[in-house]
Amino acid sequence: IFVMYASGNESGWKTQKVSNGTAYSLIFDANDNPHILYSYYAPVYPSPRGLMYASWTGSSWNSQTVDPSDTGFGMVALDSHGNPHVAYTDGTTIKYAVSNGEDWSIQTVAQYEKGALAFRLSFVLDKNDTPYIMYSPSSYVDYSQDVGIQGVGIIGMNVTLATYQNSSWKFQPLSLPTPTGDYGNLVVDSKSSLHSIFTQHYVSSENTIRSTLLYASWNGTAWDTQPVVSNISLNSMSLALDSRDYPHIFTSSGEYAVWTGSEWSFKTRTYANNQVYLALDSNDNPHVSYLQGTTSQVIANIVYATAIITDVDIEPTQPPSPTFPDVPLLLVSTAVIIGVVVTVVYVWKKKTQKP
C-alpha cells in the first residue's frame, strides 16, 4: 500500500509516490506546500511501522518519524509559526505531538482500556494555537430496547472534547441529542469558536436505521445544535465555513447544505457513498472529493468535483427527498480507479485558505 499525492490543474492530474503506508491527513501551509500525516509500514514481515509526517520542500518530500509505535489514525495541523502539531490514537491512548522543526515532543492526552477508542478523531488549532481534539470513547449505549422494534438495534456513542488550557488538558463530554450516531470534523471560525456536525439515529417505519444530520456551534458556554436534514443514511460527512463563517456541509448520501443566515439551502447533489471531503476556495466555492461505489468494494472511483455557488444559489429552499439521481450533477468531476495496493490523496492544486 502506498501513500500517493496528486495535484491537478486544467491540463490534468499529476501523481507521485510519497512512501509506503496509509495516508491519514493532508493540509497546506501559507505557501501552498502540502503536509501529510501517514502510517508507515514496509512490504516485509515483520513490517516496521510508525507514525510519519511528510512535508514538500519544493523539490522533494522530507519525512520525519513522529512516533515509532503503531497507530490507528491521526490528524495534522500547522500553528501560526508553521510548525506541525499532530493528534493521534492507537485505540487505547490519545496522544498529542508538537515539532519545533527538529524534534517531536509527545504527551498523553487520555488513556483508556485496550481497544476502548475508535480509530478516529478530529483535531484543530485556533488562531491562538490552542488545540482541540474531539474523540469518542467506546462507552456506547444500546438504545434497541428504547426503540421497541425487535431485530433493529441502535447504538449511540459518547463524544468528548479535549482542550489544552493553563498547562493541562480539560475534558468536556458533549451534551448531544441521543442516540448520537457519529461525528464529523471540527472547524474553527474567524472568532476561534468551534463548529462541528453530528448524526442522531432513529428507526424508520420500514425498520431501517436512518439519521438526522445535526449542526453544532459553540456559543461560549454551551453547544447550540440544530437539525439540518432528516431521513438520510450516512457513512461520512464534511463541514467547512465560508468567508462569513456560514457552514457548508457535504454528506455521503448526497446532500450539500449551505446556511443562508436564516435557513438551510440544499443544493443538487450526487450520491457519494463514503469518505467525503469538502474545502472552500477564496471565492467560497466548494471543492469535494469522495469514493464512488459501495462500502464493500476494494476497488473504487475517487471523484473530485467543484461548483460555482452564487448568492442566488443560497436562497432558502426545502430539503430534497432522500432519493438519489442516476448521474452526478456537480459541474466538474474527475474519476480515478485505485486498487487494493494504493492509497491516494486527491487535492485540487489551488489555495483554499482565506487570505
pLDDT given at position 71: 81
Q: What is the SS3 assignment for 314?
A: helix
Residue 249, φ and ψ in degrees, nearest 5: -130, 130
Band of pLDDT at residue 307, cut at 50, 70 and 90:
confident
| Count of domains for the chain | 1
Confirm whether 31 is domain-assigned. yes
For 309-322, what is each residue's pLDDT tens digit?
765 455 444 444 33
- State the distance between the two ends of the chain, measured CA to CA, in whole angstroms: 36
As a whole number, the mean pLDDT across the chain is: 80
pLDDT given at position 139: 54
- Which own/partner pairs from 203-211 qualify as long-range (CB within 8 Å, at least 24 positions apart)? 203/147, 203/149, 203/152, 203/154, 204/231, 207/149, 207/151, 207/152, 208/152, 208/233, 209/152, 209/154, 209/233, 211/181, 211/182
Confirm whether 88 is domain-assigned. yes
Provide the greatest CA pair distance for the chain: 61
pLDDT given at position 344: 34
Confirm whether 8 is domain-assigned. yes
Band of pLDDT at residue 81, cut at 50, 70 and 90:
very high
Residue 342, φ and ψ in degrees, nearest 5: -130, 130
Confirm whether 144 is domain-assigned. no
Give residue 159's Cα distance to chain centre. 15
Mean pLDDT, range 130-141, rounded to an integer = 81
Mean pLDDT, range 2-28, rounded to an integer = 91
Residue 145, φ and ψ in degrees, nearest 5: -70, -35
Residues 74, 338: Cα–Cα separation, whole Å? 23
Q: Which residue has the cell 467547512?
A: 240
Q: Give me the domain span that covers residue 53.
A: 1-114
* Amino acid, res. 172: Q
Confirm whether 106 is domain-assigned. yes
Q: What is the SS3 assignment for 161?
A: strand
Looking at residue 145, what DSSP letter applies?
H
Q: Of 80-94, 152-166, 201-215, 281-295, which has the strongest mean pLDDT? A: 80-94
Contact call for residues 28 and 49 (beta carbons, < 8 A): no
Looking at residue 41, what DSSP letter applies?
E
pLDDT given at position 352: 41
Confirm whether 35 is domain-assigned. yes
Which secondary-structure segment (H or E) carries 147?
helix 144-147
- The Cβ of residue 37 has, within 10 Å, a number of other Cβ atoms equal to 26
**Contacts for 210 with CB less than 8 Å, ≥ 6 apart:** 201, 202, 203, 204, 230, 231, 232, 233
Residue 71, φ and ψ in degrees, nearest 5: -130, 165
Contact call for residues 131 and 155 (beta carbons, < 8 A): no
Residues 129, 136: Cα–Cα separation, whole Å? 23
Among residues of the chain, what percentage have pLDDT more than 90?
A: 47
Mean pLDDT, range 45-58, rounded to an integer = 86
Confirm whether 193 is domain-assigned. no
Confirm whether 9 is domain-assigned. yes
